[in-house]
Homo-oligomer: A and B are copies of this chain.
Amino acid sequence: MSINDYIKTYQKRVNDALEEAIKPLAASNRLTDSMLYSLRAGGKRLRPILMIASYESFQKDIDKVFSTASALEMIHTYSLIHDDLPAMDDDDLRRGKPTNHIVFDEATAILAGDGLLTYSFEWLAKDPLLSDREKTKLFQWLAEASGPAGMVAGQMLDLQAEEQQVPIEQLENIHKLKTGQLIKFAIKAGAFLGGAKENQLEYLDEFATYIGLVFQIQDDILDVIGDEETLGKPVGSDEENEKSTYPALLGLEGAKKHRDNYETKAYEALEKVGITESRLFDLTKFLTERKY
């Protein structure tokens, strides 16, 4: 199966798992409609797919991973809803569709985000396939990754860095928190559930840091040279908003080199894990070369 087919196959399974997760809430009301709107608004399901691939590197029966993958995607979705709010990045469009607060209103969007964040923990707590020990570990990692020393801290720093050029170390720190922590959770949680050993988790931690940066640099590059239709969003918005980006700091070619350097380091870290066959190799390549 090509990596593109692999991604498509699991996107579908993740979407099904998310629908399943939301079903217990499905008595339609403004709040659940708003949560569902953003959950269904598409998206690459990149984090869940990384989690599945990480799990599959150790164990084949992947049923066990889906509630954790769904919980992660709910957290990611909540963060997008809140980031798009007028008081934050003030975005009207995401993935070619109106953002949550445009379709509903600000109050509903805030509550939809709160609801998704809380429900992700509820869904994880209720998973019959995981042991209490596994749940406790996942809770801790997920809360750390998405909380005030993780993703939320990253969004705060990102807002504070607006309309100024920050040095590359600071930019990298923001990305490690804002996008990197959830990607790291995806990789580590998948491997943990698959039965990876402690030292393997450490190398995967390193690997995850690198692919998180690859992902972010490519994001910045696509905002310069991407195709609006393929991306589903306007390009050039970073420059317009005077955001600090890799191309702005390093030039386009410099940014590409920087990305490719992290790609190489990602492979090196992955080699050290000692798993011979893993979709994580292909996915790293995909992240480096992606057009959307």
Contact = CB atoms under 8 A, between A and B. Distances in A.
Contact of A143 (B30, B121, B132, B153): B121
Contacts of A144: 122
Q: How many copies does the complex hold?
A: 2
B110 A110 contact: yes
Given A85-B107, A132-B136, 6 more contacts: A87-B105, A118-B147, A118-B152, A119-B148, A122-B147, A125-B136
Interface stretch (A155-163, A196-204, A243-251): A155-163
A156 B117 contact: no
A289 to B, nearest CB: 33
B148 A126 contact: no
A92 interface: no
Given A115-B147, A125-B140, A156 B31 contact: yes
A60 B71 CA distance: 37
B117 A114 contact: yes
Interface string A67-110: 00000000000100010010110000000000000000111101
Contacts of A142: 121
Contacts of A87: 105-107, 110
28 contacts: A25-B148, A32-B148, A82-B110, A82-B114, A85-B107, A85-B110, A107-B159, A110-B110, A111-B152, A111-B156, A114-B152, A115-B147, A115-B148, A115-B152, A115-B153, A116-B148, A117-B117, A118-B143, A119-B143, A119-B147, A119-B148, A121-B121, A122-B139, A122-B140, A122-B147, A124-B139, A125-B140, A135-B135
A160 B111 CA distance: 12
Contacts of A139: 121-122, 124-125, 135, 139
A35 interface: yes
Given A125-B136, A139-B135, A156 B108 contact: yes
